[in-house]
Amino acid sequence: MRRTGVAMGAGEMPLDAEALAGPARDHELVARCREGDATAFARIVALHESMVFSLAGRLLGSAEEARDVAQEVFLQVYRRLGRFEGRSSLKTWIYRIVVNQCHNRRRFWHRHGRDREEALDERFASPATHRDAWQASPYEQARSRERARKVQAALLQLTFEQRSVIVLREVEGLSCEEVAVALGIPDGTVKSRLSRAREALRQRLVGLLEEGDPS
């Protein structure tokens, strides 16, 4: 069921903002949304839905859950856009909503006796980049996918706080300052939590990445 009233994956919109990029484009789209321009909100959805789905999937490990969370995220974006002050980028602001919704989903699981994520969805175990993938042999591609699957499986063994900080920093490529905004925590906390998350991930990967590799 569509909750936002806006079709996800909207096509090109006849907006002047299309000629802009980054913060200028976001500012134009937000301004138009506040004026009641539904096509501007549809364009915000189209620009950010892939990121929202990917991040939710990596935090929850399930495509079905990620789709549900993405719908809720854009409903929250629609409701809260009037309170967006522009002190961070729109994308970073949306990151925070995604993390909060995923955290709420996991709390819901806990209340209903489901303490563990579902089996890993393979689409979230794909390598973070496909650059030069066409040059790799079928064996190398399969090996790369298997390594990525193990990394994602290890990520799902971390605490949600550790997983959030490491996915935002290492997978999404946010700066520590942007991660701090997205998580609503001080920069220093991001750095210390990231250090602990990297070590926890390293410990869970010991032996996994070597498994099946030639000695």
How far apart are the C-alpha atoms of 120 and 149, rounded to whole Å? Answer: 8
Q: Which residues of the chain have pLDDT under 70?
A: 1-22, 112-136, 207-215
Q: Among positive and negative, which fits the CA dihedral 137, 139, 140, 145?
A: positive
Q: What is the CATH number of domain 1-120?
A: 1.10.1740.10
**Tens of pLDDT, residues 56-75:** 999 998 889 999 999 999 99
Which residues of the chain form CATH 1.10.1740.10? 1-120
Are residues 74 and 51 in contact, defined by beta-carbon separation less than 8 angstroms?
Answer: no
Instruction: Let me know how long the chain is.
Output: 215
Which residues of the chain form CATH 1.10.10.10? 126-215
pLDDT at 207: 61
**Tens of pLDDT, residues 179-196:** 999 999 999 999 999 999
Phi, psi of 14 (to 5 degrees): -80, 65
Architecture of domain 126-215: Orthogonal Bundle (1.10)
